[in-house]
Amino acid sequence: MSFAQYFKTASYCLIGSGFVAIAATGRIDWISIVLFAAVFASSWFLDTARIVRAVPSWAYNCVALAYIPFFLIDYRLLSRSFMIGMFHLLFFAAAVKLLTLSKDRDYLLLYLISFAELLAASTLTVNIVFAASFVIFLFSGIATLILFEMRRTNARMQTEARVQPVVVSRRLQGTGLELFSPFPAGLLSAIVFGITALIITIAIPIFFVLPRVHFGMHTQPSGETQFTSGFSESVELGQIGRIKQSDAIVMRVKTDKSPSELPYGLKWRGIAFDQYDGRAWRRSNQIRRTVPIQGLYYKLENTAQGTDLINQTFFVEALSTDVIFAMHKPMAVSRDVGFLWRDTAESLYTARPVSSKLRYSAVSNPIRPDPANISDLRPVPQEILSTYIQIPPSDPRVAELAKQATEGAQDKYAKAQALERYLLAHYSYSLVLRGTPNSPDPLAMFLFDVRSGHCEYFASAMVIMLRQLGIPARLVNGFRTGEYNELGNNWIVRQYDAHSWVEAYFPPYGWIEFDPTPPDPQRPKAAWLRAIANLADAVDLWWWEGVVNYDRSKQSRVFSGVRAGIADFQNSLKEFANSIQESFRAGMATLRSPQAVMKFLYGRFASWLPLIALAALLWIRPVRRRITSFIQRALHRGDPRISATSFYREALALLGAQGMKRGYAQTPMEFARSLRNHPAGESLLSLTRMYNAIRFGTPNAQFSRSEAEALLRTLRSALKTKAAHA
């Protein structure tokens, strides 16, 4: 790779990293992204200098002036956002410069635009794509600065002093950069990689020890606000069409228990509805009350049924709802949610903006009812009966079906279970909404005509039939558990996991969940695609939890862990020293003769003898030198320059050990000729000629490895003979 190619590649990586970072925020429309990407790619192949010569400068000025009114139109009518309008302006300026690259200042302006894009992206979101873009920006930025200075210095020297390189490997083209041809791209890349790694290595400890100050700037989503399918604050039946489901991620959930330890059919509860008017579900009482604070949590309940509590950590994407999700029954929610309110149906809400992500924890007490503890004789609170028993005028067949489905059940809890089994067995799941749009009773149409539907029909049917039987019930919207990611140890909840189910009231447990909806058919996915998706999700979750949300509490845990690790290491050293001391004392107590001493030492250190012998050999300089030279020549067997240099250096080391060292002002040939009368002089002279021919001669010079080995053996033998006679 030539100097010009390397410089262009590094510059385009630098420019592209800023564009990718700002595009990954999800704030830029896809039209702008596609257009700039097309300009970016095409500019690589275009002769931009020719474009500059062909188009007069006044044309560029006119285009720049024409964009000013377009910016105002974009700000007021198109994007309706000053920030997005500024991004479009940056894209426009970068696109124009990419198509007219001819001078160094054009590159400088593009570098500044890329830096501005990266800086703006850091205030909008800090996802894993931003991290990758930043690393590429850092690497290419270091390389570009080095190359840009080389390019600028060379141009200044060419202009001022007219300096021309004397030795080049090919014909000059007139720029002076041929001095770097062939350009050592691999060596420069290694240097830049080392500098980048050093910067990151220094930055990581600084990141962990800096005081944590959170301004809430990095909670923005990586995409646009998601309007979830299947989850809303109202449920309406009787529509016709097909529900289109999305696989966009809604949230990720971590629990302190493995999937096998969690309750079957676990769900993330959202919002409950109590009023049904024959077509739609709503909340009759939307008054929200604040929740008391206790320590770092909002306290929702004063007592728990048992001690089998489950801790959950939610990583919620930007959603078009202020509902807080948690496993039923939530006992406490962390104060990370900000303000927390609860309504009469035990639904939770927060005041967070709909354009921000949210991370919080919840503690729930899973209700595992024992039928033996449930009795119809236990009284139900009057406020529950007055709210959750109301039935709108409906088809009389619904009440009759409820009685038929529960015939034979002994108590109300058994009737609820019978209704759940009946709906699961006699109706089918479907996302296709069929029937008459203006039907006066869509629930009756589902039960007696269509006999298939989605979860809202099943849940609505069970709630109404439970109320027909005098059992308080309500409909709940939320999400199924989702897909478990074993790599990240978390549940991935997507939009198509939105779900509706039933809660019925049975003392002494209170509200108990029922799910009459048949299971949704599994979506087939190749194993390798699932593995890649799980890995990407695990990395993204680690980045969000471990870097973006690295706060003072995590910093404190890290410091505590470091201190504990140092203390454990010190204790381990003390225990090791004590064990050696005790072992030595025990051994000395049993030693009564020299034979016993030798037996003790051999038993203790026999396994270490090979390592001790190897260390002793490596301590001897000639042996170490020969081993190092052998390894170096073996690794670079195909490179004659490195091999010849290795043989020559070993010869110099052998001579230096005998007191014959080459002076700093001596050339290799001068040093060899000065030892012509020495027994090793002829071997050194031949080896020096071979070294000079390969190191400083023509590129096609031949190197004989076997001849170099023979000359080195002769030199070594001559030095031994000379030393013996001396």
Residue 298, SS3 per DSSP: strand
The 10s digit of each residue's pLDDT in 653-679 is 888 888 888 887 888 898 888 888 888
Angle 527-543/128-160 helices, nearest 10 degrees? Answer: 80
From 60-64, 445-449, 571-575, 598-602, the region with the lowest mean pLDDT = 598-602
Please give the pLDDT value at position 239.
Answer: 64
Task: For residues 621-625, give the mean pLDDT.
Answer: 65
Helices (H), 46-166: 48-54, 57-73, 82-99, 104-124, 128-160
Inter-residue contact 343 to 335 (CB < 8 Å) = no
From 317-321, 402-406, 489-493, 716-720, the region with the lowest mean pLDDT = 317-321
Please give the pLDDT value at position 348.
Answer: 95
- The residue length of the chain stands at 726
- Which residues does 558 contact at the CB level (< 8 Å), separation at least 6? 208
The full DSSP string for 316-334 is E--BS--EEPEESSEEEEE
Residue 4, number of CB atoms within 10 A of its CB:
17
Backbone phi and psi for residue 14, each to the nearest 5 degrees, phi listed first: -65, -45
165 vs 176: CA distance, rounded Å = 7
Task: For residues 509-520, give the mean pLDDT.
Answer: 90
pLDDT over 90 at 503, yes or no: yes
**Helices (H), strands (E): how many in the chain?**
22, 24
Angle 104-124/82-99 helices, nearest 10 degrees? Answer: 150
654 vs 660: CA distance, rounded Å = 9
- Which residues does 460 contact at the CB level (< 8 Å), separation at least 6? 235, 237, 276, 281, 443, 475, 500
Which uninterrupted H or E stretch holds 584?
helix 552-590
The full DSSP string for 609-662 is HHHHHHHHHHHSHHHHHHHHHHHHHHHTTT-HHHHHHHHHHHHHHHHHHTT---
Highest mean pLDDT, choosing among 101-110, 464-473, 626-635: 464-473
The 10s digit of each residue's pLDDT in 117-140 is 888 887 776 677 888 888 899 999
Task: Identify the band that residue 5 occupies on the pLDDT scale cut at 50, 70 and 90.
Answer: confident
Please give the pLDDT value at position 552.
Answer: 66
How many alpha carbons lie under 13 Å from residue 363 in its C-beta half-sphere? 16
Helices (H), 358-431: 382-388, 396-405, 412-426
The full DSSP string for 154-214 is HHHHHHHT----S--SS---SSSGGGG-S--HHHHHHHHHHHHHHHHHHHHHHHHHSPP--
Residue 87, SS3 per DSSP: helix
Please give the pLDDT value at position 172.
Answer: 44
The DSSP secondary-structure symbol of 307 reads S
Task: Identify the band that residue 200 occupies on the pLDDT scale cut at 50, 70 and 90.
Answer: confident
pLDDT over 70 at 609, yes or no: no
- Domain spans in the chain, listed from the N-terminal domain onward: 3-160+173-209, 235-239+248-541, 620-725
290 vs 124: CA distance, rounded Å = 31
Backbone phi and psi for residue 526, each to the nearest 5 degrees, phi listed first: -60, 150
Lookup result for tokens 């996991």 = 497
Please give the pLDDT value at position 126.
Answer: 64
- Do β-strands 297-299 and 293-294 pair in parallel, antiparallel, or remain unpaired? antiparallel
- Report the alpha-carbon angle 595-598-603, nearest 5: 125
The percentage of the chain sitting over the pLDDT mark of 70, rounded to a whole number, equals 80
From 116-120, 339-343, 619-623, the region with the lowest mean pLDDT = 619-623
Task: For residues 690-695, give the mean pLDDT.
Answer: 86
Task: For residues 358-385, give the mean pLDDT.
Answer: 91
Please give the pLDDT value at position 223.
Answer: 46
pLDDT over 80 at 615, yes or no: no
Task: Identify the band that residue 364 occupies on the pLDDT scale cut at 50, 70 and 90.
Answer: very high
In this predicted model, which residue has the larger pLDDT, 361 or 590?
A: 361
190 vs 127: CA distance, rounded Å = 28
Task: Identify the band that residue 219 occupies on the pLDDT scale cut at 50, 70 and 90.
Answer: very low
